[in-house]
Amino acid sequence: MISKNRKAFTMVEILVVLVLISCGLLPVYSLLKSGQQRISRADNRIISTLMGASVLELARTLGYDKAQKIAKDDDFVDLKIIADKNGYEISEPNCSLTLIEPAPEGSKAQYLLKVEVVVRAKHQQVKGNEIPDLTFVTVLTDPRYNYY
């Protein structure tokens, strides 16, 4: 004789509860995981931006003449070492001169110095959500020439 006064859960009730809990927890887990990836990517972009801005600020501080040799500057070498210790790579600055045309009559030709540097994360921390290489550019003018 089977007693009907048992006070336990049936297997079907347990399975229904597990399905309901998993339907509620899986979206929350997915949301937390994607949020963590976005935070990590934003953190890496911020650090890359700060390092690139530091190189451009150094070029502006050095001025037109010295910025052409920024790769040999001690402060730039220090920035590269700091970036390397933090898992980033700063490329050698690409410095190129561009002639301003047309120049006013009777004036000397003036060149603009374009300084370009690329910062990239050495170790991608987030799989499937790679951090792009960031390119930073500034343009310097020779202060000895002006068109007043």
Q: List CB contacts of 118: < 8 A, sequence separation 6 or more.
A: 90, 91, 133, 134, 135, 136
**pLDDT of amino acid 111:** 84
Distance CA 32, CA 9 (A): 32
Q: Does residue 4 sit within a domain?
A: no
Q: Does residue 30 sit within a domain?
A: yes
Q: Does residue 89 sit within a domain?
A: yes
**Sequential DSSP letters for 19-52:** HHHHHHHHHHHHHHHHHHHHHHHHHHHHHHHHHH
One digit per residue, the tens of pLDDT, for the chain of length 148 reads 566 666 778 888 889 988 888 888 888 888 888 888 888 888 888 999 999 999 999 999 998 889 999 999 999 999 999 999 998 999 999 999 888 777 677 777 788 899 999 999 887 655 656 778 899 999 998 877 655 4
**pLDDT of amino acid 146:** 58
Q: List CB contacts of 88: < 8 A, sequence separation 6 or more.
A: 47, 48, 51, 119, 120, 121, 122
Residue 134 phi, psi dihedral angles, 5° rounding: -105, 130
Whole-structure pTM value: 0.72
**pLDDT of amino acid 85:** 93
Distance CA 50, CA 43 (A): 11
Q: Does residue 1 sit within a domain?
A: no
Reading the block at residue 41, the tokens are 């990517």
Residue 111: which domain range? 12-141
Q: Does residue 2 sit within a domain?
A: no
Q: Number of folded domains in the chain?
A: 1
Q: Does residue 100 sit within a domain?
A: yes
**pLDDT of amino acid 33:** 87
Distance CA 44, CA 53 (A): 14
Q: Does residue 123 sit within a domain?
A: yes
Q: Does residue 104 sit within a domain?
A: yes
Q: List CB contacts of 62: < 8 A, sequence separation 6 or more.
A: 70, 73
Q: How far is CA 13 from CA 5, 20, 22, 54, 96, in A?
A: 17, 11, 14, 62, 73
**pLDDT of amino acid 142:** 80
